[in-house]
Amino acid sequence: MRIVDSYGRFNVGGTDTARKGAAAGAATNANAGDAKSTAKAGSDAVTVSAQAHELAQKASAAADTAKVANLREAIQNGSFKIDREAIAKRLVDGG
């Protein structure tokens, strides 16, 4: 939707927002370059706890691989049908 300010009501302060936006964008781009160079200079490490590994193994074991394979095949061959009513009901019911 386009708003036409035919009476000059919206530009009360007489500021040029396009120029301010361009200046702010240039400053942001300069700062982004600094952030990239500092990110490359430092070295970060991530460690995953034993508990996280255990949870990941339980999650993968809980997945029904046969069901996943059947769904994948149905999607690939085009026989998977979406139940719009079930989706709408779950959206309305919140779950």
Q: What is the largest CA-CA distance in the chain?
A: 67
Percent of the chain with pLDDT over 90: 31
Which one-letter DSSP state was computed for residue 63? S
Q: Name the token pair of 33.
A: 């370059």
pLDDT number for residue 76: 96
Spatial separation of the C-alpha atoms in residues 29 and 32, rounded to whole Å: 5
pLDDT number for residue 40: 56
Spatial separation of the C-alpha atoms in residues 63 and 73, rounded to whole Å: 16
Q: Which of 61, 43, 65 is nearest to 53 (CA)?
A: 61
Which one-letter DSSP state was computed for residue 32? H
pLDDT digits (tens, 9 = 90+) for 15-55: 555 545 545 455 444 444 444 444 456 788 889 899 999 98
